[in-house]
Structure formats: structure tokens, C-alpha cells
A and B are shown apart, each in its own frame.
Chain A
Amino acid sequence: MGYLSSAGVESCIQWLHTTFPAITEIMVMPETSAEGRTIRALKIAKGGGTRHGIAFLGGVHARELVNPDLLLSFAMDLCAAYTNGTGLTYGGQTYAPGIVSIIVEGLDTWVLPLVNPDGRAYVLAPGGDVWWRKNRRPTGPCTGIDLNRNFDFLWSSGIGTSADPCEYQIYKGPSAFSESETRNVKALLDTHANIHCLIDVHSYSNDILWPWGDDKDQTTDSSKNFRNAAYNGLRGGLNPAVYGEYITTSDRDWYISTGNSAAAAIAAVRGTAYTVKQSVDLYPTTATSDDYAYSRTFVDSSKLKVRSYTVETGLEFQPPYSEALQIIKEVSAGLIKFCTACLCAVDEMAKSSKKKSKAKKSEIDLVALQEFRDVHLASSTAGSRWVALLEAHGGEAFAIVLDNPDMHSEAADVLHELGSAVTSTKAVPIDAALVKRARAVLDSLHDRAGPELRGAVREIHEALEHFTGKPAHEGLRAAERAREK
């Protein structure tokens, strides 16, 4: 019983596709590794059409052995559960079949389990260095580049990296994306522009980390951002008086909610506590995969925002395999939460609403709803909070609705009517009867939800009070005033 070899990882990818051909697809990465190994990613998705995507990366650092096995095991679980029409159970954490269905039918789930196959092969080889971290490309006098310091995010700054080719751990390479292995990750994001979330799984420390890694986050001064050259030389000091990396309140709230949701799922398996925190914590870093993925949209607004995390699994790089299997189980429970958070629940609800609505109404006007979210909700603290809650928990909520046909019909009708009210060009008051129906749906959801979703449902349930008898914009203002008190 033990860790998969480097070649074994590739065999597993092939087996998954052969065994589950209707719901998987292999992408051969455009470049081989430094030593010429072919690298593959697996997509899990049923059907096509417009949908969000999520990408899971593993094996970036060679010595962190658990994570390629974790991602392949996770892929196997998802594929088997969907094919057999079952849910998933990880210790004390259970997911209904509906959640598996909406992930496979509503999301493109990409698994790139072994970004750095040369490094893993070297770790596991007799005579190799079992604690090797980097890739295996020769750098002149020495070997290897730290792939998680080679991405194009403040690469030139040198924060948390080394320019010494013989540095054992954090040599950043001669240039950003100098390595084929990191270029492959970029290619995955470039080729599949619907990827909306990226999770890079590393070891160790039992953490769930959100951006940014170069300095402490701040939400008040948008001019203090990584693109502004006026702050070159001032980043990385972890002194808010000098610099803080700008992040929007809604993004930060989403990161915290979603991270907490994943941590709660992990803890439910066997009690392991993961800490959800910003990447930078005590040591700044740059040129990492998660910061690069998240930064893309700010550099080029035509690129979709990719919300990203680094998950640090376990309490050592190479636990005994019996312990690795436990880590695999508990973290898999958390990965499901990332998938449901990455779905667009309103999208999924809208797609199903025409079929499910008792009144056979036309489809919900998604474009108008999205504009209401992006313009009006995003510009208020209360609205941003609700958007973050929806994004963090909407997938789970929709899965519960999906499993309950009566709730599904009623939720579809309520969403349709609420959608019409909030997007109408006339100031249509939201009547008390509609609020009562919405609250009834929320009550049903609450009875079936996990603890994190229940908290979100209670918050939305209370917030609806501000909208009774008022047009949506007035309700939003009332909620904002209540929040300020």
C-alpha cells in the first residue's frame, strides 16, 4: 500500500477516461516536462453548454506526495458516484446524489494531478532526494526551479523568492513562465476560459489560503495594487501604513465564506481543523499559482476572474500511507464544497426553472439579474455580503432544491417573480405574499441544510424584511441603513 508512482499517475488518468468515457475527457498538456514526460489533465463533465469550470492542481512540489493521489481519488469518487447515481460519504460528511449531479452536469471539473512529474519521479527514485521540491531542469551549476515561484505575478519583485539557481527551495527561474510545467497551467486557463476557480493543493500545515500572498489585503484603496509601479519596492513589508494589496470586499467575503465552508466539511469527516486565512500571513511570497490565476482578470479584463486557493494538506510532507488515506478522505469532502461554490447556482436554477415552474413561466432573465448583482448589489455592503453568501453556498442550496421536487417548483416560481421585481424598469414593490413564499422556501432549505448553509439562510431570511412592500432598490437602501446602525 503506497503512493502512486509518477507513471502510475498518468496510468490512472487513462484508466479514469477508459472507465468513465461519457463524463471524462483527457487534455494532453501542450508541453512535456523538462525530462520529456507527457503531462495530462482530466475533465469531468456531462454534456456541454455554457458553464463554469474549476481546476484542481496537484504535485507542483515534488516532495508533497499526498496530493496527486488525493486528486485522483477525488476524481474516481466523483465519476463513480455520478455513474452509479449515488451520493458521497466521507466519514461524518455526506453529500446527496443531487450534489454530485449538479457538479458533473453544471461544472467543468478539471484535475491536473501531477504538474511536476519529474520531481515526483526523482523523490521516489533510489538515489534521488526524497525531500526535493523543485522541477528537474538543469540550471547551470545546479538543478531545479521552484514552480510555485515561477508564475507571472510580481515575479520581478523578488519577494519571497530567490534568483540563485542553486537555491534549494525557492529559485524562481530565469524568467516568469520559464518552465514548461508552469506554462502548462497557464495553457489550461487560456484554453478553457470558463475556468472560474483554481485550487492548488500542497502540503503541509492544514490550511486553506486565499490571495494575496505578497502583502496584507486591504479593501479601501484600490490604487494600492500589484499593477501600480508607484509601489514597487514597497510591497512585502506587511506594514499596512506603507502598503496593502487591494481586494474587493465581495471577493474577500467570498473567499472567507467558501473557505469556511470547505473547512467545516473537512472537520466533519474526522475532526481535523483547517485554518482559513490569507496566504501572506507571516511570510510574503510572489509568483505563486493562486495569485497568478486570480490576478489575470485585473491585468486583462477580457479574462474571467479566477478565484483561487492554496490548500495545504496534512501535518507532514510524506505521512505514512495509512494516514495519507485519511487525509485524502477529509480533504475530498472539502473539495466538493469548492465545486459547489464554483457553480453559478442562479444559472442552474434558471436553466431548470422553465421546466419546473408550476405556472410554466418563461425563463428567468439572467442577464438582467446579473446586472442587478454586478451594479447594485456589488455597490452596497449588504448586497456584497448576500452575493458572497450565494456564491459560497448557492451550489449546496441548489442541490437540496434539486432533490425535492415540490421545493424545486416553488423555488423556481419565487425566483422568477423576485427576478421580475428586482429587474423591472418600473419600481415594482415586492409584496408581502411573495416575501412570505420566499421565506417558506428558505425555511425548507434550512431544515435540510448543513450548518454553514443554515447560517447563510438565516441571514437572507432576516434581510428579506427590508424588501417587504418596497421596490428592490429601496429595500437595498433600507438594508444598508440597518447594517450601518
Chain B
Amino acid sequence: MGQCESTPARYFVEVGAPDEHALRRLRGFGLDLFVSTARRSGDAFAIDGLIGLDDVARLVSAGYPVLVAADAAKHERRLEVSEFPEWLAERLAERQA
């Protein structure tokens, strides 16, 4: 399932799976799941992702437990940006401290 430019609210989630095969079957949902975070969690498995509430419902209906960890909007850093002169001044100040 693809996504176009404007997207509804998304959430950082942890999706559980009872075994490795169930974990890999998550690929078929076409979701933004973070491969590097796939892990064994006790006797089960988990992977982090970024999805909307509709997809949360879809996963839950398919038998996957989903923990909604955070509203993604609260974790973006679009306002924490520096242009180079300011960035350089900060880096040089750190090195002199």
C-alpha cells in the first residue's frame, strides 16, 4: 500500500509477533516498519513502525498486538534546524569549552 504526499496522523508503534514467520509476514501489509528494529522480545518478536490508526486497526484485526508508543508529530525536529554559520559557531564554542 503506497502513500501519497499528504498523510493523516501517524504514530510510532511497536508491533508484536508470536514467531519469526509472523514477524516476516508483516512485510505483506506494506507498512512503514523499521527493519533495523526487528528484535526478539522475550519469547515473542517485535518491530517498530510508523503507521496511522487505520493500519493499527488492520494489524490488530489480523492478530498482531500493537503498542502505540508516541504521536509522531511530537518527535519531529523540523524546527530544530540551523543554517551553517550558526551551526559552525555552536560547534566551535563546544570545542573551546
Contacts and interface: CB of A to CB of B under 8 A. Distances in A.
Interface of A: 1-5, 7-8, 11-12, 15, 65, 69, 73, 76, 80, 123-124, 126, 128-131, 133, 142-143, 160, 162, 164-169, 202, 204-205, 207, 209, 238, 281-283, 285, 312, 316-321, 325
Nearest to A312: B36
B57 interface: no
Interface in B37-64: 37-40, 45, 47, 50
Contacts of A11: 84
B30 A167 contact: yes
A395 to B, nearest CB: 24
A1 B3 contact: no
Given A15-B84, A131-B10, A143 B91 contact: no
Contacts of A128: 78
A131 B81 contact: no
Tell which of B35, B37, B78, B80 has the most Cβ of chain A within 10 Å.
Answer: B35
Contact of B32 (A4, A168, A204, A209): A168
B81 A2 contact: yes
Contacts of B27: 160, 283
Q: For chain B, which range describes its interface: under 10, 10 to 19, 20 to 34, or 35 or more residues?
A: 35 or more
Contacts of A124: 78, 81
B2 A167 contact: yes
B75 A123 contact: no
27 contacts: A1-B82, A3-B81, A4-B82, A5-B81, A7-B84, A8-B83, A15-B84, A65-B77, A76-B91, A80-B95, A129-B7, A133-B32, A143-B5, A162-B30, A164-B30, A167-B30, A168-B2, A204-B34, A204-B36, A205-B34, A207-B36, A282-B20, A283-B38, A283-B47, A285-B35, A317-B75, A321-B77
Given A131-B10, A164-B2, A5 B36 contact: no
A5 B87 CA distance: 10
A318 B78 CA distance: 9
Interface of B: 2-5, 7, 10, 12, 20, 23-24, 27, 30, 32-40, 45, 47, 50, 72, 75-84, 87-88, 90-91, 94-95
Give the secondary structure class of B's interface: mixed
Given A65-B77, A282-B40, 19 more contacts: A1-B90, A2-B87, A8-B84, A12-B87, A12-B88, A15-B84, A69-B87, A76-B91, A124-B78, A131-B72, A133-B32, A160-B35, A166-B3, A168-B30, A204-B37, A283-B24, A312-B36, A317-B75, A321-B77
Contacts of B33: 169
A4 B80 CA distance: 9
Contacts of B3: 166, 168
Contacts of A209: 36
Contact of B38 (A1, A2, A69, A282): A282
B38 A318 contact: no
B39 A5 contact: no
Given A124-B81, A282-B45, A166 B36 contact: no
Contacts of B79: 2
Contacts of B81: 2-5, 124
Contacts of B38: 281-283
B82 to A, nearest CB: 4
A135 B56 CA distance: 27
B2 A130 contact: no
Given A166-B3, A282-B38, A283-B24, A130 B76 contact: yes
Contact of B50 (A1, A131, A162, A320): A131
Nearest to A209: B36
Contacts of A142: 2, 4
Contacts of B40: 282
B63 to A, nearest CB: 19
Contacts of B82: 1-5, 8
A1 B80 contact: yes
Contacts of A76: 91
B87 A8 contact: yes
Given A5-B82, A12-B88, A131-B10, A318 B75 contact: yes
Contacts of B23: 282-283
Given A131-B10, A166-B2, A282-B20, A320 B80 contact: yes
